[in-house]
Chains A and B, each alone.
Chain A
Amino acid sequence: MFSDAPHFDVRDYLRKEMMPHFLCPGCGHGMALRALLWAIHELNIDRDKLAVVSGIGCAGRLSAYIDANTFHTTHGRPLAYATGLALARPDLHVVVITGDGDCLAIGGNHLIHACRRNLKLTCLMLNNEIYGMTGGQVSPTTSETRLTTTTPHGNSEPNFDACALATAAGAGFVGREVTRHVPKLKELIKAGLQHPGFAFVEVVSDCTEVYGRKNDMGSSAEMVLRQKSEMRPSAYRDSVDEPFRSTDLPTGILAQNNRPEYGAALRAAAAARAAK
């Protein structure tokens, strides 16, 4: 922040005529969007060559605010659209913005198979533990005992660990960060964007209006602060002197491998066939 270089101005990357955006006051998705655009800025990605594909829900609406090639697709299917786009156009940087419901419930199968294929894509899953736009229904990541409009007596289903799922399914890069740490989130997204295979980044975001309010989680600011107290950065994750926080949310890069990238493998196979 003390650099002489001009600091990143998020407004340069927004479709300003669309602002202010439609998200509720205090919604964490705005911070996540800033981190994504910041990472894109620092990697100097040409916006003409940037395609952002999003699904349905609050997270799905974010693509419309990005000054790039943007696609607001069907519920749960942004990864399917993005897979087609990335295969047909390997010259594009394809980024998927999806939510916990979009990615893990409606599009759960698209996620695991995208992880399995390891096509070069960056998938940003904004996890606010709720279907916010439709009025606060329980989602696959809603914590147990939480109140939602469809769990009036508290959620009794165990919730998903999306990063564990993506890791098990073979994703090339898996990471998690909270919106509270925008610069760290930016760094994580940058690492994901630079990964040569499928990168899955879970962003722990806040839904203050629909989820926080119903669960007495305090004001927007209190929810943002709570993120810090409940997370576990990678630096401390395996530390022996942090024995009492073992249940906290691990953040940082959680898994990384060098499995072959699907698009390149597919093109190489096609070239080999053509040469015969």
Chain B
Amino acid sequence: MPTRPSQADIYQTRYGSHGDYPMIVLAPASAREIYDETIRAFDLAELCRTPVILLYDQVIAQSSETVALGGRTSVHATRKWASGPREAYKPYAADADLIPPMPRPGDGYRTHTTGLTHSETGFPSQDPETVTRNLGRLYAKLDKHRDLIDSFEAVRCEDAEVVIVAIGISARAARRAVDACRAEGKKVGLFRPVTLWPFPEVALREATRNAKAILVPELNIGQLRLEIERQLRDRRVEGLHLISGEPITPAQIAAAATKLASEV
């Protein structure tokens, strides 16, 4: 549905290929956050030598908001370049941080870059052990730098009995629903993963420590809900799904949260 919001690409960004690999996906929810997260996306891509996807729905992408820019600057603008002897140089032999320095054309390393699975030499390999080792390193690399990658927003979650988990325009609506519910005396909070993948599961568990139920409003038939169900197996997880091409309203979310709060 062109020009209409939808959020059905949550898994496509993460698992879009038949080959296995980790992926960083950032899901900003405002014009200001798009600005900040774009800087961070480049920082992460440069630092971790990995593709980063900025994921936003149509409403977030095409809304205009008054923002004060500045404040955020790039921290990792410099890529790690290869140095040292050129003989027997291995472009994918990683340092202790699991990120191999990158050879620059013209520096004399004469390396090969390929989209095929490759060994530390950069040349295509289908050796099971080599492939497992190198793809494994990609996962370990992101695991090792989770402190830089993870980002989230938790609103009034400390005492919340119902925590709403949402991204993008659904999270914007949920933010207002939280205020509406709180005004009614309902203990409702919002957890918004800014880094969607890898999912900030530790922060989610912390934010939902006191929650009895989770509400996941999203513009699809149930994608983010699957991940929350997987993370919080002991909790009741309800979805609020809309596939009509319209965004979910704060009132719809507030109503669903209120209903859920009364049931637990």
Task: Decide: B113 and A92 in contact? CB cutoff 8 A.
Answer: no
Is A64 on the interface with B (CB-CB < 8 A)?
A: yes
Is A69 on the interface with B (CB-CB < 8 A)?
A: yes
Which residues of B80-118 are within 8 A (CB) of A?
103, 105-116
Task: Decide: A64 and B112 in contact? CB cutoff 8 A.
Answer: yes
Task: Decide: A71 and B106 in contact? CB cutoff 8 A.
Answer: no
The contact string, 1 if C-beta is below 8 Å from chain B, for chain A 12-43, is 00010010000000000000000000000000
Is B22 on the interface with A (CB-CB < 8 A)?
A: no
Task: Decide: A47 and B106 in contact? CB cutoff 8 A.
Answer: no
Task: Decide: A48 and B124 in contact? CB cutoff 8 A.
Answer: no
Task: Decide: B106 and A70 in contact? CB cutoff 8 A.
Answer: no
Task: Decide: A92 and B115 in contact? CB cutoff 8 A.
Answer: no
By a CB distance below 8 angstroms, the chain A residues around B103 are 69
Task: Decide: A71 and B110 in contact? CB cutoff 8 A.
Answer: no
Is B152 on the interface with A (CB-CB < 8 A)?
A: no
By a CB distance below 8 angstroms, the chain B residues around A15 are 112
Q: With A and B bound together, what is the CA distance between A69 and B116 in angstroms?
A: 17
By a CB distance below 8 angstroms, the chain B residues around A72 are 112-116, 124
Task: Decide: B112 and A63 in contact? CB cutoff 8 A.
Answer: yes
Q: With A and B bound together, what is the CA distance between A91 and B107 in angstroms?
A: 12
Is A74 on the interface with B (CB-CB < 8 A)?
A: yes
Task: Decide: A49 and B110 in contact? CB cutoff 8 A.
Answer: no
Task: Decide: B106 and A89 in contact? CB cutoff 8 A.
Answer: yes
Task: Report the minimum CB–CB distance from B116 to chain A (whole Å).
Answer: 7
Task: Decide: A69 and B115 in contact? CB cutoff 8 A.
Answer: no
Q: With A and B bound together, what is the CA distance between A71 and B113 in angstroms?
A: 5
By a CB distance below 8 angstroms, the chain A residues around B111 are 69-70
Q: With A and B bound together, what is the CA distance between A15 and B112 in angstroms?
A: 10
Q: With A and B bound together, what is the CA distance between A68 and B105 in angstroms?
A: 9
Task: Decide: A18 and B106 in contact? CB cutoff 8 A.
Answer: no
Is A51 on the interface with B (CB-CB < 8 A)?
A: yes
Task: Decide: B108 and A64 in contact? CB cutoff 8 A.
Answer: no
By a CB distance below 8 angstroms, the chain A residues around B106 are 48-49, 69, 89, 91-92
Is A149 on the interface with B (CB-CB < 8 A)?
A: no
Q: Which residue of B lies closest to A91 (CB)?
A: B106
Task: Decide: A92 and B105 in contact? CB cutoff 8 A.
Answer: yes
By a CB distance below 8 angstroms, the chain B residues around A74 are 115
Q: With A and B bound together, what is the CA distance between A74 and B113 in angstroms?
A: 11
- Between B113, B115, B124, the greatest number of chain A beta carbons within 10 A of the residue's beta carbon is seen for B113
Question: Quick one: given A67-B110, A72-B115, are A18 and B105 in contact (CB under 8 Å)?
Answer: no
By a CB distance below 8 angstroms, the chain B residues around A69 are 103, 105-106, 109-111
Which residues of B109-164 are within 8 A (CB) of A?
109-116, 123-124
Task: Report the minimum CB–CB distance from A76 to chain B (whole Å).
Answer: 13
By a CB distance below 8 angstroms, the chain B residues around A48 are 106-108, 110
- Between B108, B111, B112, B116, the greatest number of chain A beta carbons within 10 A of the residue's beta carbon is seen for B112
Is A85 on the interface with B (CB-CB < 8 A)?
A: yes
By a CB distance below 8 angstroms, the chain B residues around A47 are 110
Q: Which residue of B lies closest to A72 (CB)?
A: B114
Task: Decide: B105 and A85 in contact? CB cutoff 8 A.
Answer: yes
Which residues of A101-149 are within 8 A (CB) of B?
none
Task: Decide: B113 and A89 in contact? CB cutoff 8 A.
Answer: no
Q: With A and B bound together, what is the CA distance between A55 and B95 in angstroms?
A: 30
Is A73 on the interface with B (CB-CB < 8 A)?
A: yes
Q: With A and B bound together, what is the CA distance between A51 and B103 in angstroms?
A: 13
Question: Quick one: given A70-B112, A74-B115, are A64 and B107 in contact (CB under 8 Å)?
Answer: no
Task: Decide: A64 and B105 in contact? CB cutoff 8 A.
Answer: no
By a CB distance below 8 angstroms, the chain A residues around B116 are 72
Q: Which residue of A lies closest to B115 (CB)?
A: A74
Supply 10 further A-B pairs (C-beta < 8 A) apart from A70-B112, A74-B115, A89-B105: A48-B106, A48-B110, A49-B105, A64-B124, A68-B110, A69-B109, A70-B113, A72-B115, A72-B124, A92-B106
A interface, CB within 8 angstroms of B: 15, 18, 47-49, 51, 63-64, 67-74, 85, 89, 91-92
> Can you pick out 25 interface pairs between chain A and chain B where the beta carbons lie within 8 Å of each other?
A15-B112, A18-B123, A48-B106, A48-B107, A49-B105, A49-B106, A51-B105, A64-B124, A68-B110, A69-B103, A69-B110, A70-B110, A70-B113, A71-B112, A72-B114, A72-B115, A72-B116, A73-B113, A73-B115, A74-B115, A85-B105, A89-B105, A91-B106, A92-B105, A92-B106
B interface, CB within 8 angstroms of A: 103, 105-116, 123-124
The 6 closest A-B pairs by CB, nearest first: A72-B114, A69-B105, A71-B113, A70-B112, A48-B108, A51-B105
